[in-house]
Structure 1
């Protein structure tokens, strides 16, 4: 017995034809065999392949087609199977002519379909499917209704069909969402784009994202509630029904053989796809475990837990963040097309000027003009010094000890320092302004302390139990309540938050069975679901 690693290419040798120099012809030939098999045509002759290739592209010589067929049928690759063609032999001379029939091998078909899936994935743009959300909710209601049948009887065919449809729609939704958000990110990361085309695309995309976000908020909440109505026993029962029906459909035969060169296939006692030696109950248990993992994946996608956010929430956040990112790209494109100047553009322009100058003195003059690196103005030389430099022809390389002495103008001593004459400015007295600010700070502190005292509770109390709140107290209470509700996870039992200075702590607990509450304030009435709140001081903060 030989191992798959004994052959060049190993178990992935059937993919080799996609990377060789003649890969285009090999792909066309393999696609012709795949299309023929879809029409239930198993064997093809070279002339059949040539006819099929002429239908979808330029004609190819028969010798080239025969050479490609022989290479694909080579055991090294194993994409095709070759059989002697004796069906059209009419004379003894025909036995000496090489006539072959070619058939798509199992490995070759799998390789070509994998390459087709790869090509389709590269060309796919993906989509955010709001209709899929509605379909998932409808299928979950159908499963819930099936479990709630009055006599306890389940239509197993209907349950199985609903589960398969639910799996397909959810898989399509998740895969397309990943592809779509990737394409949006590539659009955001683009560097060169036509402004008008991108603006039109941006308007349509933002509208599309806003509609999907709205649908995801409403439909996602419905799906999360529907999933919460299924008990673990209900889920296990549904998965067992689907596994039992699929196990019945498993056809007897050989288990999937090892890769090319890895030895002969072994007989499987039950169905294709199960482990060798497995019994029918074992196969059904494996299928049930697979369906249970799919259900858990669906639940994780829509239902959040205290430990993690749901995938739907993450997708919603990613879609929302894409909108300001798109607007930032639009702003960048506007700036680019409006000729906005920045430091990098200035330096690039200056570099082009330097490159266009003919000699070094011109470049030095441009350097001094651009950056202002000239001699110090307070050390200006006299006319006598400049004449001496001209006579001696002093250059930049002349040592300072050999150069003529610099004659400094005596005016420097007279004008080198400056002292203002006259009376000094009076210092402004700001004691009244400081006292006013201190009074305002004290007044605000007292108002905050009073508001805190009015919202404190002596233990947990319902929202409906609060008395009328003034404007300052209600503003503080509303801020605490908003932070507490934001920290309360879906399905969570309680949440605890503290103010930014750590002075107050709020513990909030939902009351699902309580009637709606009304909280009265001096400006009106706040209505909503009732909660149990506990507001207390923390530490020794003085209020």
Structure 2
């Protein structure tokens, strides 16, 4: 078993840099479709970074580990002495190439910065629209379906991986505490602009992708996935047994794989009842990063203004105590640092509460008897009757009255907004501040629940007190809702608002 991993040995060998440079020369040669290399060719590819004997020894070690294969080089033999001299042509082995691919993937993962790819969202939407056109055909072109699904998987994989890497690097940036304030502020401005643009694209394009996914599922996306699985199974090699069809087995395996891919893709853009989509979580994480970046800038500004944290203050104070020359200096430093100059620093009984003036030095004050209970448990209980319970009835009455007034204002706002029939926004008239705040909340919930391509949206508030039905109009008119603080203007809509609490009361009375 250990022999299977010996090709990795050169990564921890003493001359690791030389071995990696030699292997990199063979990887570059393979990209140029060059199979064999001589030691001189390796040295030329390395641009004479090492002497030829050292390169030859490194090639021998790599052959022992299984990274390279050595074949006798007889092409330049002109004499018997040349024939008996060791000359070899070297080429990558299967294990050696696999190790280089693993090392390259490791280096790429560590150095990956990641990005929020708004262009990838547009590409995904384009590919989904093309799949939608193919799904309408009675017999869709298998090659086109397979290519579109492969492109969709590749683009989505890049999008998800880059987004994860970007958010991880963003969190490391937020946790950075030693950056220069001016540099970080400039970087913060560019980053916040970048996040805002991506969030805007994710809201618009993500909603379109979710709608396209729903449309494909209504047209049986499973049939398109089966087409891709069958096309991949066409190249299955014949098996040893004539009873089993390798294409059928490969199709079943590919079918399960494509279904898993589609479910993962769907979960990224479509939210379920109790499981928000990954796109929604990414949008929330990106939004939360903006105030965190601003907080980092505030911390950097505080540091630059000369403020220090409490631990640094205590360390400096401890150093001052250690360097104090005399005991009197220690007392003055203690008094200047903590101000504990009074003798009445602990609770005393009523009889002795005012017995010692506050200006009395500790050394001149009479001793204070401390209860053993305080020394043992850290708490002190006075003897006698317990303290009188504070009467909070006035405060409770005030809170109850405040709650009644707020409930009355909310009820009046619902009654003012409720409509008996569909009404234009321009016909709502003037609203008081409380009703206007409730109206803005309703309007925001309705606009957030709107799906692209649909003119009508219905939703309820989070507390379940009101329902709204909003219908977009195509006449291009504008609406104006007046308030004591000003006017609210926007495109006119047809709105129907229902007070669910009032409707519930009517149903129960009936």
User: What TM-score bracket applies, with the shorter chain setting the length?
Assistant: 0.7 to 0.9
The answer to whether 1:18 aligns with 2:8 is no
Q: What is the CA deviation profile of residues 449-484 of structure 1, one whole-angstrom value per residue up to 9, with x for unaligned ones?
A: 556677889xxx876699979847955863784697
**What pairs up with 1:487-498 in 2 under 5 angstroms?**
none
Q: Does the 8 A contact of 1:220 with 1:312 survive in 2?
A: yes
| Corresponding residue for residue 307 of structure 2 | 340
* CA distance in structure 2 between the aligned counterparts of 1:325 and 1:293, rounded to whole angstroms: 36
| Corresponding residue for residue 65 of structure 1 | 55
| Corresponding residue for residue 98 of structure 1 | 86
The answer to whether 1:368 aligns with 2:358 is no
Going from structure 1 to structure 2, the CA distance change for 1:365 and 1:444 (only over 3 Å counts) comes to: closer
Q: What is the CA deviation profile of residues 276-330 of structure 1, one whole-angstrom value per residue up to 9, with x for unaligned ones?
A: x871221133223322222222211111111211111111111111111110011
| Corresponding residue for residue 85 of structure 1 | 73
The answer to whether 1:215 aligns with 2:201 is yes
| CA deviation after TM superposition for structure 1 residue 61, in Å | 2.2
Provide the secondary structure at the position in 1 that maps to 2:283.
helix
TM (normalized to structure 1)? 0.69
Going from structure 1 to structure 2, the CA distance change for 1:448 and 1:96 (only over 3 Å counts) comes to: closer
Provide the secondary structure at the position in 1 that maps to 2:501.
strand
| Corresponding residue for residue 141 of structure 2 | 155
| CA deviation after TM superposition for structure 1 residue 240, in Å | 2.5
Going from structure 1 to structure 2, the CA distance change for 1:28 and 1:333 (only over 3 Å counts) comes to: same
| CA deviation after TM superposition for structure 1 residue 233, in Å | 5.7
| Corresponding residue for residue 378 of structure 1 | 357
The answer to whether 1:43 aligns with 2:36 is yes
| CA deviation after TM superposition for structure 1 residue 87, in Å | 3.4
Q: What is the CA deviation profile of residues 129-155 of structure 1, one whole-angstrom value per residue up to 9, with x for unaligned ones?
A: 111111111111112122234xx3423
* CA distance in structure 1 between the aligned counterparts of 2:102 and 2:399, rounded to whole angstroms: 75
Going from structure 1 to structure 2, the CA distance change for 1:446 and 1:45 (only over 3 Å counts) comes to: closer
**What pairs up with 1:191-340 in 2 under 5 angstroms?**
191-231=177-217, 234-249=220-235, 269=239, 279-340=246-307
Q: Does the 8 A contact of 1:484 with 1:506 survive in 2?
A: no
Which of 23, 27, 50 matches 1:30?
23
Going from structure 1 to structure 2, the CA distance change for 1:96 and 1:338 (only over 3 Å counts) comes to: same
* CA distance in structure 2 between the aligned counterparts of 1:512 and 1:468, rounded to whole angstroms: 15
Q: What is the CA deviation profile of residues 157-194 of structure 1, one whole-angstrom value per residue up to 9, with x for unaligned ones?
A: 32222222222221111111111111111111101011
Going from structure 1 to structure 2, the CA distance change for 1:475 and 1:111 (only over 3 Å counts) comes to: same
Going from structure 1 to structure 2, the CA distance change for 1:241 and 1:370 (only over 3 Å counts) comes to: same
Going from structure 1 to structure 2, the CA distance change for 1:92 and 1:319 (only over 3 Å counts) comes to: same
Going from structure 1 to structure 2, the CA distance change for 1:116 and 1:522 (only over 3 Å counts) comes to: closer
Going from structure 1 to structure 2, the CA distance change for 1:306 and 1:43 (only over 3 Å counts) comes to: same
Which of 100, 110, 123 matches 1:112?
100
- Greater C-alpha radius of gyration: 1
Going from structure 1 to structure 2, the CA distance change for 1:142 and 1:107 (only over 3 Å counts) comes to: same
Provide the secondary structure at the position in 2 that maps to 1:82.
strand
Going from structure 1 to structure 2, the CA distance change for 1:450 and 1:307 (only over 3 Å counts) comes to: closer
Provide the secondary structure at the position in 2 that maps to 1:102.
strand
Provide the secondary structure at the position in 2 that maps to 1:536.
helix
| CA deviation after TM superposition for structure 1 residue 375, in Å | 6.6
Provide the secondary structure at the position in 1 that maps to 2:253.
helix
| CA deviation after TM superposition for structure 1 residue 84, in Å | 2.9
| CA deviation after TM superposition for structure 1 residue 124, in Å | 2.2
Provide the secondary structure at the position in 2 that maps to 1:231.
helix
| CA deviation after TM superposition for structure 1 residue 336, in Å | 0.4
Q: Does the 8 A contact of 1:269 with 1:279 survive in 2?
A: yes
| CA deviation after TM superposition for structure 1 residue 380, in Å | 8.4
**Structure 2: unaligned runs, 5 residues or longer:** 344-355, 368-393, 506-510
| CA deviation after TM superposition for structure 1 residue 94, in Å | 3.6
Provide the secondary structure at the position in 2 that maps to 1:314.
helix
TM (normalized to structure 2)? 0.73
Q: Does the 8 A contact of 1:128 with 1:177 survive in 2?
A: yes
Q: What is the CA deviation profile of residues 427-466 of structure 1, one whole-angstrom value per residue up to 9, with x for unaligned ones?
A: xxxx9xx999999987766555556677889xxx876699
| CA deviation after TM superposition for structure 1 residue 20, in Å | 2.5
| Corresponding residue for residue 262 of structure 1 | none
| Corresponding residue for residue 316 of structure 2 | 349
Q: What is the CA deviation profile of residues 478-503 of structure 1, one whole-angstrom value per residue up to 9, with x for unaligned ones?
A: 37846975997979x9977674xxxx
Q: Does the 8 A contact of 2:468 with 2:496 survive in 1?
A: yes
Provide the secondary structure at the position in 1 that maps to 2:500.
strand
Provide the secondary structure at the position in 2 that maps to 1:101.
strand
Q: Does the 8 A contact of 1:514 with 1:530 survive in 2?
A: no
Q: Does the 8 A contact of 2:480 with 2:489 survive in 1?
A: yes
* CA distance in structure 1 between the aligned counterparts of 2:332 and 2:126, rounded to whole angstroms: 79
Provide the secondary structure at the position in 2 that maps to 1:229.
helix
| CA deviation after TM superposition for structure 1 residue 348, in Å | 3.3
* CA distance in structure 1 between the aligned counterparts of 2:495 and 2:428, rounded to whole angstroms: 16
Going from structure 1 to structure 2, the CA distance change for 1:15 and 1:440 (only over 3 Å counts) comes to: closer
